[in-house]
C-alpha cells in the first residue's frame, strides 16, 4: 500500500525521514569530503529503491513518493542536516522530471524504471569549453542523418561522467537565427562508439569531473526530448527548481561548525583579531540562513521562485569561501597540510573545505552571472 506522505504533519514526516536515515544511510558516508562515487553510493541507492524513496519528487504513478513542495523541502533539509553526500543521481533529479513533463510515452516507459532501479546512471552534458556561463553559445553539433543524429563536439566539467551509463545533453541543431532557438535536448548512451571520457584531477586529488568527447556519435532520433530546436526552454525549466538547492546554507554551516571547533581547540577565542573576523563571518552565515528560509517558505507554499533567488548563490558561495580561508589561516603553519591532521588534541581537515569552496562561485552559474541576473531582472538596471 502506497503511503500518502503529504497527508502527514510536517513534523511527523520529519521524524519519518530521520528514522529512515538512521536505519539506512551508512555512517561512514556522512559529510563526505567529495562527491560520492558509484561504488560508494550503490548500497544507498538500493536502500532508497527498495523502500520507494528513490524519487521523492516524482508522481506516485511513475514510482515516486509524490511529495509536494513542503514535504520535499523537509526531506532535503533533513538529508543535508544528516550529512547525506551528493552522488550520481541526475537521472532522478533532472532526467526523470524532464521526461515526465516533456518526454514521449515510449521514453517514459523505457527510461524511468531503469533510473529508479539504478540500472541507468546519468550525467549532464551542458558546459563546454568557452560555453559555461554563456551556455547558449554551445557548439556541440547534432546533424540529422536518416533515423540518427550524428553528434560531434566536446562537453566539460561533466560531474562523475566516468560512472555514468547515459548522458543528457544540449546540442546545436540549427545555426541560423537566435542562438537559443537552435538548441535541442538529446539523450545518449555513453557506451556508443565515438564517446570518450577523460577524468579531470582537481586540487584535492579527486576526479569529480570529466571531459567528454563526441566524434561521429550516432544517437537515435527517438532520443530527442520534446521538439527539435526547443531544448533551451526545457533546459531552463529543468534548472529552475535547482536554484534554491544550489543556494543552500549547508556547506557554510558545516564549515562554520568546524571553524568553531578549531578555534576552541587552539585557544583562538582569546585572539581579538580572529574573533573580529569570526564574528563577521558568523553574521554573514546567519544572514544566509535567514534568507534561505524565506525562499524555502515560498517553495513550501508552492510558489514559483523569481530571479531574486540568485542572491542565495552569491551570498552562500562567497561566504563559504571566506570561512574556508579563515580555517586555513587559523591552522597556522599546519594550514597547508592535506587530509586529517592532528592539532591541539583534535583532528581537522580544513583543506577539503578550502578546495571545495574554490569552484563554488563558478558552478551552477557563476556569481558574476547571478549578479547580472539580479541587476537586470530584479533591479531593472540597463544592460
Residue from 111, 61, 107, 68 nearest 241 by CA: 68
Strand partners for 172: 141, 183
Q: How would you classify the pairing of strands 224-225 and 183-189?
A: antiparallel
Stated as kind and residue range, the H or E segment containing 263 is helix 250-265
DSSP one-letter code for 73: H
Cα–Cα distance between 308 and 374 in angstroms, integer?
6
Active site residue 242: yes
Quick one: CA dihedral 329, 334, 335, 339, positive or negative?
negative
Catalytic residue among 119, 196, 242, 303: 242
Cα–Cα distance between 143 and 131 in angstroms, integer?
20
- Sequence-distant (6+) residues with CB within 8 A of 354 are 324, 325, 327, 328
Q: Is the separation of the CB atoms in 6 and 69 below 8 Å?
A: no
Active site residues: 242
Amino acid at each position: 500500500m502506497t503511503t500518502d506522505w503529504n497527508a502527514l504533519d510536517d513534523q511527523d514526516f520529519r521524524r519519518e525521514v530521520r528514522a529512515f536515515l538512521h536505519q539506512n544511510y551508512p555512517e561512514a558516508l556522512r559529510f563526505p569530503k567529495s562527491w560520492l562515487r558509484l561504488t560508494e553510493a550503490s548500497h544507498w541507492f538500493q536502500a532508497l529503491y527498495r523502500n520507494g524513496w528513490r524519487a521523492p519528487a516524482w508522481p506516485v504513478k511513475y514510482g515516486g513518493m509524490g511529495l509536494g513542495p513542503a514535504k520535499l523541502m523537509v526531506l532535503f533539509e533533513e538529508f543535508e542536516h544528516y550529512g547525506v553526500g551528493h552522488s550520481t543521481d541526475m537521472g532522478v533529479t533532472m532526467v526523470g522530471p524532464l521526461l515526465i513533463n516533456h518526454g514521449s510515452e515510449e521514453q517514459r516507459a523505457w527510461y524511468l524504471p531503469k533510473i529508479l532501479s539504478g540500472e541507468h546512471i546519468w550525467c549532464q552534458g551542458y558546459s563546454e569549453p568557452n560555453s559555461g556561463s554563456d551556455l547558449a553559445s554551445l557548439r556541440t553539433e547534432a546533424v540529422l542523418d536518416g533515423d540518427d543524429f550524428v553528434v560531434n563536439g566536446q562537453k566539460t566539467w561533466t560531474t562523475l561522467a566516468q560512472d555514468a551509463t547515459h548522458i543528457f545533453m544540449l546540442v546545436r541543431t540549427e545555426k541560423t537565427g537566435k542562438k537559443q532557438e537552435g538548441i535541442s535536448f538529446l539523450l545518449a548512451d555513453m557506451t556508443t562508439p565515438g564517446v570518450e571520457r577523460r577524468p579531470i584531477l582537481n586540487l584535492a586529488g579527486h576526479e569529480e569531473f570529466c571531459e567528454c568527447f563526441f566524434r561521429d556519435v550516432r544517437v537515435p532520433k527517438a532520443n530527442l526530448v520534446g521538439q527539435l530546436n526547443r531544448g533551451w526552454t526545457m533546459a531552463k525549466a529543468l534548472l529552475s527548481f535547482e536554484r534554491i538547492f544550489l543556494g543552500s546554507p549547508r556547506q557554510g554551516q558545516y564549515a562554520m561548525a568546524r571553524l568553531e571547533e578549531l578555534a576552541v581547540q587552539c585557544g583562538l577565542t582569546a585572539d581579538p583579531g580572529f574573533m573580529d573576523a569570526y564574528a563577521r563571518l558568523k553574521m554573514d552565515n546567519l544572514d544566509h540562513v535567514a534568507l534561505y528560509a524565506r525562499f524555502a517558505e515560498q517553495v513550501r507554499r508552492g510558489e514559483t521562485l523569481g530571479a531574486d533567488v540568485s542572491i542565495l548563490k552569491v551570498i552562500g558561495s562567497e561566504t563559504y569561501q571566506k570561512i574556508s580561508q579563515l580555517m586555513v589561516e587559523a591552522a597556522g603553519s599546519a594550514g597547508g597540510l592535506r587530509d586529517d591532521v592532528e592539532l591541539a588534541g583534535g583532528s581537522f581537515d580544513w583543506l577539503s573545505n578550502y578546495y571545495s569552496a574554490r569552484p563554488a562561485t563558478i558552478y551552477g552559474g557563476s556569481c558574476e552571472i547571478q549578479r547580472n541576473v539580479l541587476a537586470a531582472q530584479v533591479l531593472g538596471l540597463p544592460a
